[in-house]
Structure 1
């Protein structure tokens, strides 16, 4: 990423990024501005060889507040490619299981990605709407907290079926490459994305729905940079459902017994990256009797769930996650809802080591369970 002289001059006199950064608050020595300064003064060397480079969550809280619009996550991503080449690697979570699964998908492997869908609803091999499932079928191989990680995909499929839509779901789909890209492994990302584009084109789909914010952001913003304009529309499921459900004829059962107070966790890739704040909230509000209480840090100021790309899960991550759970608890909500499978996994994991009593729910499952 290139930074102009004007941006550099302003950056060195500022500090908004460091004051905004959740990592800087827990680890005082971490500073996005100082990393930029060191990269400029030392021609990247000390930053490329540092552990700090991997601590960044790439949550974009700094860049959304930057007065001169420096995209620090992209700055860090570029340096991570160099770091990987020089042997400075991230600390992988869950023994690197998810990274290994992602790498395997760059090969011609036979997958069984649709077994869950056969039991959940109706889908097709060809059609206008492609449901991109992502890595959810593999999450349970490495992590298991609460319900299965396939719940969001099942709920999206069932909601689509209730609306008369049988989406395409393919055994040949691959990981979107998000984690590989943000951990400096651009080659793996390019292979995965290239294979996915061929599969989607071959299905005849005119639009692709994503329940995962990371998959959505990767196709929406990263894929066109490398592959040019895509021949299909990219939609997040919350956008689609918030627009289409009100006129679909679906009716909702009211929430009773005082369980209607909920709060919502904005995923970084869906919120700050894509600017999608209201559609998830609109979906929650479709359910009669629900009262949405906002956490103090919400929308563009929302706190990250504390971990990114299945790496660098640390005491710092747990501190951020527990603070977020406490903030959710303070709203008086009995349920914390999120539209991101990783947010749900990370916050549920952190909750398991606390006395905090709160349901951490998938948005699509929450909505589906209240459809008449």
Structure 2
């Protein structure tokens, strides 16, 4: 196991103790269960979990199989006593492996594939080379003060080969937009995966090894600002890394925020506008929305794209539902039901494209669309509904990369 400095270990223990102490304030009002998506599908009861943690201690609570039903979506931030229920669940998960309470066996091969890819990366002394995807005309360097961090996104299309996700087009769209505002980023070959999935799967040791490796590599490369494309990676590097390894040498920023800060919206306003061709609705990912409070910049980009009109979901921003899966845990019929509900709302709004900025959400909503059978007795086919990554949507609509979704 990768050892943390003593000061960090002491700090973490204080954080853990404060979390557990906060649970004593729970007065069982059940507001958390009223908004919990996992409770709706009978897979997790946050109120009962907190009661167990208070009465029996976190070690006993970590033996509860239902902790893997929690989606860690933070809908329960509604708690009037400000108990961080997702953090308590994570603490239980980090102790669960010691109590022979591993995540449930995956019903699909995707979690096994991603876990294997992450374990190989974590153990390999050879830095990953994941910067071979840019187009010939696009500008980037190997080293620089502003870096574009892609995580496993360059290989995601291959790992999820049975769906036409087109994430590489999204990466090219983001790089093109950075070049458009005069930024030539570094795309370093040597930075590894953030460790998001292994952490949410309870493997703290592997997560720490990722965090320490990436911290050292960022410092070695002289990176001052790291622009992250995946909300899950952003959440981990922005909010979890500092708790374990201290502040990074680089400022961590999500790519939509970065483009807005660089004047991308103002530059687009000089483009010729077309008639509305596509109705799009934006789905807020949990890690970017409730966990990181980034709601506006993705919408600003969508609203400025030529030929696109953004329509609103009934429940969005902090009220947006979870796609039902985190770290590929919970990819089952229950979470599929949750996604079908969101897709039903999108169809009722007459939406052409459900756009989101999280590759996990894109993957799982694409799976949900593929699983919907034709309605019995339908004479006229339903209006087709597409799911698109925001980077891919921008790349196809604005820069004409590949086919429009």
TM > 0.5: yes
User: Which residue, out of 74, 82, 105, partners 2:121?
Assistant: 105
Render the CA deviation track for 1:208-247: whole Å, top value 9, x for unaligned: 1011111111111111111222222111011111232034
* TM-superposed deviation, 1:139: 2.0
Instruction: Return the TM-score normalized by structure 2.
Output: 0.85
Are 1:339 and 2:357 an aligned pair?
A: yes
Corresponding residue for 2:343? 325
Residue in 2 that maps onto 1:261: 279
Q: CA separation in 1, counterparts of 2:247 and 2:349?
A: 43
Coordinate RMSD, CA, aligned: 2.2
1:235-265 Cα offsets, whole Å, 9 max, x none, are 1011111232034467545344x53321100
Query: How many residues are paired up?
Result: 369
After superposition, the C-alpha distances for 1:75-128 in whole angstroms (9 at most, x for unaligned) are 011101111122211134526111111111122135331221365722111212
Give the match for residue 76 of structure 1.
89
Give the match's secondary structure for 1:137.
helix
Tell me the secondary structure at the aligned position of residue 369 of structure 1.
Answer: helix
What does 1:39-118 align with in structure 2 at a 5 Å threshold?
39-44=53-58, 47-62=61-76, 64-91=77-104, 92=106, 93-94=108-109, 96-106=112-122, 107-117=124-134
Structure 2 unmatched runs, 5+ = 1-15, 375-381, 400-405
Partner Cα separation in structure 2 for residue 253 and residue 371 of structure 1:
11
Alignment TM-score, normalising by the size of structure 1: 0.92
Cα shift at 1:332: 1.7
Q: In structure 1, what is the equivalent of residue 4 of structure 2?
A: none
Of the three residues 7, 21, 29, the one matched with 2:36 is 21
- Where 1:131 maps in the other structure, the secondary structure is strand
Q: Does 156-165 or 5-14 show the bigger shift?
A: 5-14
CA offset at residue 31 of structure 1? 1.1
Unpaired segments of 5 or more residues in structure 1?
A: none
Verify: 1:282 aligned to 2:324, yes or no. no
Tell me how far 1:198 sits from its aligned partner: 1.8
- 1:368 paired residue among 395, 400, 404: 395
Maintained 8 Å contact 1:255/1:287: no
CA distance in 1 between counterparts of 2:142 and 2:169 reads 21
* Structure 1 residues 6 and 14: alpha-carbon distance in aligned structure 2, compared to 1, 3 A threshold: farther
Residues 1:226 and 2:226 are matched in the alignment: no
Match of 1:312 among 324, 327, 330: 330
Aligned residue for 2:202, secondary structure, equals coil
